[in-house]
Structure formats: C-alpha cells, structure tokens
Amino acid sequence: MPSEKFGIADKIIFEKRAEDYPPFVTLVSKQSHCKIALHGAHILSFIPHGSPDLLWLSSKALYQNDKAIRGGIPICWPWFGSSDKPSHGFARIHSWEVIRSGVDEEENPHITLQLVSNDASKKLFDYKFCAELSVTVSDTLDVQFSVINRDEKTFTITEALHTYFRISHVDSVKVTGLEGCSFIDQLDHDKEKLQQGAIKIKAEVDRIYQNSVDTCTICDEGLRRNIIVSKTDSKSTVVWNPWIQKSAAMADFDEGGYQHMVCVESANIGDHQITLKPGERHMMKLNISESSSLET
C-alpha cells in the first residue's frame, strides 16, 4: 500500500526522494515540525517553531538503501553494537511501512511505521517479529518504539534510540541526570566507572550508563536552552561523541561536526537486554522537549 495515502493536508506531508529510495514524511503541528525517513523509520529533525533543530543531522549523511543515516534518531535493533553482524542491527537499514496516521483533538499529527520479519531479516535474526515506531509531534517530540514476538520461540534483544542532539559547541554544554550512575567505558576495556557530577565533553566519549532511568538534560549555554530527554522502560543510556579522529574517519560525518553534537541514547543493553516469550511485547518511550535555560 503506498505510504502517500496516509498524508493529511498541511499536517502529514510525504516527499518523494528518488525512484529507488523510500520517501520522507513531515509532521506539522502548531508548535513544531518533524521529518522522518521511511528508510529505518529514522527521525531526521524536530524543530520547534522559532528554534534551531533539537537534532543534529550530518550534511554528509548518505541516503542509500544499504546505509544508515548519520544523525537524527537511528533505531538500533535487534541488537546494539556488534562487530560480526551489521553494526547496531538491521532496523535502521530496512524500509518501514506506514500503517496509521492521524491528528488528535489538539491538531497534533501522529504516524506509526512498522517493520515485520521478512526473508532478509530472517538471515540475520531468525524470528518472526513486528516492530513499530509511533511519533506524535506537538510542543514536544513523542516517540514510542515497540516490539512483539510473533514467533514460537523466545528471543532476546538489545536496543537504542540513538539520538544525536544538536548543540552550539561542546565547550558550552553539559549533560546532567547521570550523576552517581555507574558506566561501562567502551574506550577503556569496558571498565566500570562512576559518574561524578555532570558530563562535560572534552575528548572522545563512548559510555554505557546502566540502571539509568532518570531524565537527562543537555544544558546548552551557547543556545541558551535545555534539551530535556525523558524516557520510559529504558534502563541504559549511551553517551557518545566520536571527537576528532573517529569523526574524521567517517565519510558521512561533517568536518568538525563532532563539536556540534552529542548522542544521548535511550537504550536497553547488557544486563538490561529484553527477553520476549512468544506473544510478548516490549515498549520503550522517549520524549524530547526544550526549555529556555534562562528559566532555570
């Protein structure tokens, strides 16, 4: 069924990219708009009217069927990481289908995209599943990612909504909400360490915070705003900035882009992996909003 039939005038607008690449869809509310690529059910932007984008998207991002898009919110599923299988799973390199759209009583648009197991997914993850991403746009960006086990066997997954946030400059930003959490330092032999105080990005950072369910805030003095990242049923948080060398080694990363982004990823990884018996469902929710830092 063509996705375009889920369009709603001035509220849910489809935009064809290329013959062989899935469309983008823009959701427009009274307070904001948000663009989503059907490739990967990948949220590309969330722009409250009058504000800069809350999400960072590389201007060198690749829009190709076998590649993940650099920036926005890639969905890492059914695994996070991995060196012997596609990095961060296959959900972000599959085309998703639109199954529902609408506008609520406050005229906020919403859309639901779906990915079901198919021949290609079975080669990498031999289970029947149904994954859905629902997005509602108002003064906040509301995201729900759910998975149902439709197989006769139990399966285990790890996952992340790998959100790239746009910031004025790493030097003007701190991330709060993870103080006192232990983290796995992926740059230091996976040693477990303790977060003391707010996070400041002064070098490469690649950390998995465990038992981290609280709201995080990205306090950006340069843009005089706070980005508030709250989540439900996500017990891990990944904080990542590739810094100079690693970002320069990525062909799809803007030159110097590492200074203007930080990933704060809502996830379930390691001890918090999710096991689903036949018929069971898991849902992780993410809400992103901004406030003026002058108010706090």
Residues that bind ligand BG6 (CB under 6 A): 68, 87-88, 162, 186, 206, 238, 240, 265
Q: Please compute Rg for the chain using Cα positions.
A: 18
User: Catalytic site residue 162?
Assistant: yes
Catalytic pick from 265, 280, 282, 295? 265
Query: Toward ligand BG6, which CB reaches closer, 69 or 98?
Result: 69
Q: Are 276 and 149 in contact (CB under 8 A)?
A: yes
Residue 251 beta carbon to ligand BG6: minimum distance, rounded to whole angstroms: 11
Catalytic pick from 39, 88, 162, 272? 162
- 281 φψ region: left (φ > 0), alpha (ψ -120 to 50), beta (else): beta
Nearest residue to ligand BG6 by CB is 87
Query: Toward ligand BG6, which CB reaches closer, 68 or 229?
Result: 68
Residue 160 beta carbon to ligand BG6: minimum distance, rounded to whole angstroms: 6
Bridge partners (DSSP) of residue 289 are: 228
Residue 12 beta carbon to ligand BG6: minimum distance, rounded to whole angstroms: 28
CA dihedral (74, 76, 82, 86) in degrees, to 10, reads -70
Residue 11 beta carbon to ligand BG6: minimum distance, rounded to whole angstroms: 31
Query: Toward ligand BG6, which CB reaches closer, 6 or 80?
Result: 80
Query: Toward ligand BG6, which CB reaches closer, 141 or 262?
Result: 262
Active-site positions read: 162, 265
